[in-house]
Structure 1
Amino acid sequence: MSTILQTADSEGQTYALEITCPLGLENVLEKELHSEGLTQTRFGEGQVKLTTNLEGMYKACLWSRVATRVMLPIANFKIDSADDLYDAIRAIEWSDHMSATNTIAIDCHGTNHHIRNTQFGAVRTKDAIADYFVDLSGERPNVEKVQPDVRVALRIKREVVTVSIDLSGESMHRRGYRQHGGMAPLKENLAAGLLLRAGWGRDCGLTQLIDPMCGSGTFLVEAAMMSLDIAPGLGRNYWGFKGWKQHDHRVWQQLMDFAKNRKKDPETLGISFQGTDREQKAIAAARECVKRAGLTNVIDVSMTPFQEHEFTIKEDMPGLVICNPPYGERMGDEMALIALYRQLGEWVVTHARGWQFMMLTSNDHLARQIPVRPEKSTRVINGGIECRAYLFPLLNGSIKEDVVAQSVMSPGAQMFANRLQKNVKKMKKWVDKNKLQCYRVYDADMPEYAVAIDVYGRWAHVQEYQAPKSVDPDKAKQRLFEAVSAIPTSLNIPESNVVVKHRVRQSGKEQYEKLDQSKHEMIVEEYGCEFIVNLKDYLDTGLFLDHRPVRKLIQDKANGARFLNLFCYTATASVHAGQGGARTTLSVDMSNTYTEWARRNIELNEFSERDHVVERADCLEWLKQSRDKFDLIFMDPPTFSNSKKMEDVLDIQRDHGSLIRLAMARLEHDGEMVFSNNYRRFILDEDLSEEFEIINITKDTFDIDFDRNNKIHQCYTIKHKLVD
């Protein structure tokens, strides 16, 4: 049986609204509505129910900073079949709410045994509404998914269905000052709710607001709009109620005019709004948002790390520090961010004593790096991630002075930072000359800090070497933290751009297994070639940096050659060969993961699939069966492999002789093979020198970033002996 919840009536009509909001902010929304005189409320999970008249409905839309949508339920019923849904929707008096000439959109949320997917529910609802109007007038409304005249929302919970008119039309976090797309910053209504929870608001008595990691400036803009009493709905052009039949344009326009007159004069405000971020893209977005919100002379944002910025702070004047720092997706990311959170904690207790500090994070361990006892925390969802907003009173009784006394940059970390900066300075001219984006900047230069640090553009890829059993694990962990904490400042990159991995020997299928699911890919360039690298998902990134000179050697030798790349990995050498003018390239590897990666690298560099082929096969078996000939061969086998995809175990020291002979059988008589491997104790079979012309070129295959670790690989050129 259907229950009709709203009908067209007299001018004194009241409406029972459901106003949705971010989870955890229901009481903030209710308090906000009360401040506008909308007091007939009760709240549930993720919403506040409000009974009000038409003017109150418009007020909720215009003035709520926390609301997500304002919904007008018009019918509620149970269903036992899909036909029941159709019949009940068709029975609603739609002519009370819209006309056949209106455009509509249907949003369906929830499923049950009868409505198994939301698309089916939306289609059945659309059909029922269309048939209602066909019966009434012979016309039917058209569907318009973007900004329709009337948006209908269907909520299915078990057998109960609620049908509503979405008066907001689209999410109310869209204020109009931010161009959506590209970045994924904090939503405006969530930011506003957290500001209100932290004590900010109109006439709150606070005179300073600082966001030390402001991103696109959402906290700053929302706080300034509150202080200036700017209605959040003033900048929106589209509302769902404008196409609703009971809309009264005169009442709405009066409220709009009143809201425009409520705005305070910024010159008399006496409140400062300051934000910093170290990322140029973020600051550019923040400045654009500030400009579009009309707050250019109110909010000051600077592209500076907060640790280095000189904020204008008025002594003995209360204020709020609020920020949404990076959370970290993996344990390694967390290691890099601990230093950032400690620095943030040290900064707030040093510069903002007596203030309030609110921080949003999904990571409780990171939150505990702030040396202050939180007064309260609020659970919210940010971008699908469960987070908590911690409110810290920066008062003497709450600050853990003993923690503050511990310097974030310990003597060990400072020593490591000095070495890192020295290495950066030493390599700068070489990096600039070769236009390198990827290089190794540190490789266990100091034995107690046993890590390798590779630069990938604005990212640092850190690999911790396995410590000997004689090293105390706690000491090793502390040294790793010291090293990681020094990286952002030394390399001038964000803390969230430091990826940490623990390096242990892998064999067989382990080398192909994923470490993560983030698919953190980026494109880098090397000597005119572009490569896809992935810093997080696998132990290796897709680009062996120590082989840079070997790849350049292949590029220089490849013109007009038929090139074979065995154990090709991601086919970076094949791309270099193609860039050097190779007639054809064939890349062979047994891994599905890497052959697919190889194809994408070749496609990225716009080489044809016909001439530049990738084949998945066991290289040893492929060599035994192939009869093709090549002018240039590169072979870089693993030290050891026992993959199930192989018929036998590969041990490079034991098997390299037979492997080289098989490869040389595929090499033209005047051709050349480059053979490399990374077994540190490798000894070349002497019998091979009797059969082939072999030159050890290892010393020539290291750039200056690997001059301290020249045992990382061994490399040879091999040719057929000339016949007299």
Structure 2
Amino acid sequence: MTENMNDQLDASATFSIELTCPIGLENVLENELHELGLTNTRLGEAQVKLTCDLRGIYLACLWSRVATRVMLPLTHFNMDSADDLYQGVKSIEWSDHLSVHSTIAIDCHGTNKEIRNTQFGALKTKDAIADYFVEKSGQRPNVEKQQPDVRIAVRVKREKVTVSLDLSGDSLHKRGYRQQGGMAPLKENLAAGMLLRAGWSKNSQFSQLVDPMCGSGTFLVEAALISLNIAPGLRRQYWGFKGWKQHDHRLWQQLQDFAKNERVSVDDLTVTFQGTDREQKAIAAARENIKRAGLTGIVEVSLSAFQEHDFSWQGSTPLVIVNPPYGERLGDEMALISLYSQLGYWVTENALGGVCALLTSNDQLARQVPIRPEKHTRILNGGLECRFYLFPVVEGSIKRGDRQQAVMSQGAQMFANRLQKNVKKFKKWLAADKVSCYRVYDADMPEYAVAIDMYDDWAHVQEYQAPKSVDEEKARVRLMEIVTAIPSALNIPETNVVVKHRQRQSGKQQYEKVATSQHEMIVQEHGCDFIVNLKDYLDTGLFLDHRPVRKYIQDNANGVRFLNLFCYTASASVHAGQGGARSTLSVDMSNTYVDWARRNIELNEFSDRDHGVVRADCFEWLRKSTNEFDFIFMDPPTFSNSKKMSNVLDIQRDHVELIDLAMARLSDGGQLVFSNNYRRFVLDSELSERYVVKDITAQTLDPDFQRNNRIHQCWVFQKRG
């Protein structure tokens, strides 16, 4: 059954329109319409229905900061077949809305068992409109997908079909000022809706707006447009109603002229707009958007971390609004705990008397803000379900107490106590041996199954793979407690915590990136410099448990020809060079680690003539080599099935052949140091019959690894005289 709405297009000029909006902002949109004098409204999901005249349509298009589109429904009907769609569309009196010379575009949304894809639905709609005009005049309108004279929307929901004119023509979030965005820019109408939800207005109670992670500046620009009373639709050139037969150009022009005169003078502004971001690309985009919006000199943005920027706090009621990262992966989420906590404390220290408004998809992260939220609103941001929190920064809402204790659970406090105990235990050893990179915790408490390594003032956290019997949510909560406890327990910045999930790796997996942040830093060990990367790979580039092994190599390397097999990043070769080795040769099959090894050698100013690096399968290289070496070190993986190898490596099965090949390259009186980290490894007894073998495992464990004395096993081999 068809319910046509053409009777609303008579001289009374009363229309029933639908304004769509982001989910969660329906009330904000309704309030906005009421302030425009458009009060005949009814709320729906992600929309507000409005009955108004033509002037009301234009006001909504021109002034709504929250609406996404303005739709004029023409008909509703039930559809049991594709032909029902065709007939329902064709029955509309299209000549009331467009001429045969108009260009059209069809947007079809939704499918059912009859309309199985939107392209088919759009095609049936186009055919129906074309046939309507062919029967009337023998001609048909042309299709123009980009900026048609009339845009037609078809919404299919189960058996129900709604056909509408899209009077906005394009999404209303496109204000015309934004050409660029940051990594995840907010849509303009979503940003404006949240500002209005937080209480920002042209007569705002707030003295300033601060966005400490401003990205491309959308919050700042939208807030300034609100304060200056600049109609968001003024910059738009394309409107869907301009090709509509009911369009009144004179009335539209009058409303535009009136809107231009409504702008508040900059001299009358009593609020300020400040933003910071750490990403240069984001700040460049923000400045371009600010310029295009005509707000240069009004909105200020700076390339800086918010903690380091000197904001000009004025008045007693700032609004701090922020869309921080949410953490798509577990490691990212854990690292963000400290960021949210730090943001919350920064707000309490600087914005007392104001409000902090925060959008996030992660409730656990929101709880790290040490302020009790007044309310939160469910909002969809790009299809991701989020919560928009309002935190009143007033005495009664701030969680008082120690900076970290305020958000620490009992479990987190217990974990912090253990970390502090370990640091105290290692203090004398660290000072005596000048160690700055060490393991401070290694699953000391079974329920907190992580390893924590310190690299200067950075904590590298590796979560061990939990047994299937462990509840995932419980493990997740414990990991969050760990990361919450680390900054205060270890006295490091909250942002200096990196979290990874560690499980057994094989083949090329051990060489693959887990991130792309290129977070490199230089650390020192026994007079050597090393490049480490805490974020991009599962391993950092320096095996801390081998620190004593490397020192042993350094102490015994003077004048030797040194061979480093399975060299990884060549840290052992650097120690040999520092110890006076005549030459070093480092062999590994990974392009990544060969390049890393060369950079470590170059960093320590050793010449590539005497300190070479070769990319090769160590087995194949040993079989072909005729060179002789005085000192050989190899620390092979437990297992590798890399395609770069001619065969699969299983260290338990293959270690005899590997050691024999290496010993064939060893000079008389030389030594081979063999190590591996396979905990169930057993050295074949026949090797002791052929060579002099000494187990030095106990001597290669510094205090930070003595609790976990199976972290590796290590032997020295020499030829029998």
TM-score by length of 1: 0.69
Q: 1:137 to 1:442 in 2, by over 3 A?
A: farther
What is the distance in 2 between the residues matched to 1:663 and 1:98? Answer: 85
Could you say which residue in structure 2 is the equivalent of 1:379?
Answer: 378
1:339 and 2:334 correspond? no
Could you say which residue in structure 2 is the equivalent of 1:253?
Answer: 253
User: Is the CA contact (8 Å cut-off) linking 1:170 and 1:240 kept in structure 2?
Assistant: yes
Could you say which residue in structure 2 is the equivalent of 1:323?
Answer: 322
Q: CA RMSD in A?
A: 5.5
What is the distance in 1 between the residues matched to 2:279 and 2:47? Answer: 36
What is the distance in 1 between the residues matched to 2:505 and 2:598? Answer: 30
What is the distance in 1 between the residues matched to 2:520 and 2:343? Answer: 35
**AA partner of residue 43 (structure 2):** F
Q: 1:54 to 1:675 in 2, by over 3 A?
A: farther
User: Is the CA contact (8 Å cut-off) linking 1:6 and 1:73 kept in structure 2?
Assistant: no
Following superposition, the deviation at residue 150 of structure 1 comes to 1.9
Q: Which runs of 5 or more residues in structure 1 are unaligned?
A: 420-439, 468-472, 527-532, 554-563, 589-622, 666-673, 693-708
Could you say which residue in structure 2 is the equivalent of 1:451?
Answer: 452
SS for the counterpart of 1:386 is strand
What is the distance in 2 between the residues matched to 1:273 and 1:652? Answer: 62
Following superposition, the deviation at residue 404 of structure 1 comes to 5.7
Following superposition, the deviation at residue 269 of structure 1 comes to 1.0
Following superposition, the deviation at residue 344 of structure 1 comes to 2.0
Following superposition, the deviation at residue 244 of structure 1 comes to 2.1
- Cα deviation code 1:568-592 (max 9, x no counterpart): 6x76468899999x9x99989xxxx
Could you say which residue in structure 1 is the equivalent of 2:73?
Answer: 73
Q: Which has the larger radius of gyration?
A: 2
Could you say which residue in structure 2 is the equivalent of 1:197?
Answer: 197
SS for the counterpart of 2:215 is coil
Following superposition, the deviation at residue 14 of structure 1 comes to 1.4
Following superposition, the deviation at residue 543 of structure 1 comes to 8.5
1:506 and 2:507 correspond? no
Q: Indicate the larger mover: 82-91 or 19-28.
A: 82-91
Following superposition, the deviation at residue 271 of structure 1 comes to 0.9
1:435-450 pair list within 5 angstroms: 442-444=437-439, 450=451
What is the distance in 2 between the residues matched to 1:120 and 1:487? Answer: 61
Q: 1:501 to 1:541 in 2, by over 3 A?
A: closer
1:575-590 pair list within 5 angstroms: none
SS for the counterpart of 1:206 is coil
User: Is the CA contact (8 Å cut-off) linking 1:70 and 1:167 kept in structure 2?
Assistant: yes
- Cα deviation code 1:134-177 (max 9, x no counterpart): 33333333333322222211111111100111111121111111
Could you say which residue in structure 2 is the equivalent of 1:166?
Answer: 166
Could you say which residue in structure 2 is the equivalent of 1:227?
Answer: 227
Could you say which residue in structure 2 is the equivalent of 1:559?
Answer: none
**AA partner of residue 260 (structure 1):** K
TM-score by length of 2: 0.70
What is the distance in 1 between the residues matched to 2:437 and 2:108? Answer: 54
1:119 and 2:114 correspond? no
SS for the counterpart of 1:656 is helix
**AA partner of residue 161 (structure 1):** V
User: Is the CA contact (8 Å cut-off) linking 1:8 and 1:96 kept in structure 2?
Assistant: no
**AA partner of residue 504 (structure 2):** Q
Could you say which residue in structure 2 is the equivalent of 1:463?
Answer: 462
What is the distance in 1 between the residues matched to 2:264 and 2:235? Answer: 16
SS for the counterpart of 1:51 is strand
User: Is the CA contact (8 Å cut-off) linking 1:578 and 1:585 kept in structure 2?
Assistant: no
What is the distance in 2 between the residues matched to 1:413 and 1:361? Answer: 32
User: Is the CA contact (8 Å cut-off) linking 2:72 and 2:166 kept in structure 1?
Assistant: yes
User: Is the CA contact (8 Å cut-off) linking 2:439 and 2:453 kept in structure 1?
Assistant: yes
Q: Indicate the larger mover: 277-286 or 474-483.
A: 474-483
**AA partner of residue 349 (structure 2):** T
Q: Indicate the larger mover: 325-334 or 33-42.
A: 325-334
- Cα deviation code 1:600-621 (max 9, x no counterpart): xxxxxxxxxxxxxxxxxxxxxx
**AA partner of residue 231 (structure 2):** A
Q: 1:549 to 1:83 in 2, by over 3 A?
A: same
**AA partner of residue 395 (structure 2):** N
1:358 and 2:353 correspond? no
1:261-660 pair list within 5 angstroms: 261-315=261-315, 317-402=316-401, 406=405, 442-444=437-439, 450-452=451-453, 462-464=461-463, 480-483=483-486, 495=495, 499-503=498-502, 506=504, 541=538, 547-550=567-570, 572=592, 638-640=637-639, 651-658=650-657
Following superposition, the deviation at residue 318 of structure 1 comes to 2.5
Q: 1:40 to 1:534 in 2, by over 3 A?
A: farther
Could you say which residue in structure 2 is the equivalent of 1:211?
Answer: 211
What is the distance in 2 between the residues matched to 1:484 and 1:404? Answer: 10
User: Is the CA contact (8 Å cut-off) linking 2:569 and 2:593 kept in structure 1?
Assistant: no
Count the aligned residue pairs.
612
What is the distance in 2 between the residues matched to 1:131 and 1:441? Answer: 79
**AA partner of residue 378 (structure 1):** T
SS for the counterpart of 1:75 is strand
Q: 1:649 to 1:405 in 2, by over 3 A?
A: closer
Following superposition, the deviation at residue 259 of structure 1 comes to 0.7
Q: 1:182 to 1:140 in 2, by over 3 A?
A: farther
Following superposition, the deviation at residue 657 of structure 1 comes to 2.4
User: Is the CA contact (8 Å cut-off) linking 1:371 and 1:403 kept in structure 2?
Assistant: no
User: Is the CA contact (8 Å cut-off) linking 2:368 and 2:407 kept in structure 1?
Assistant: no
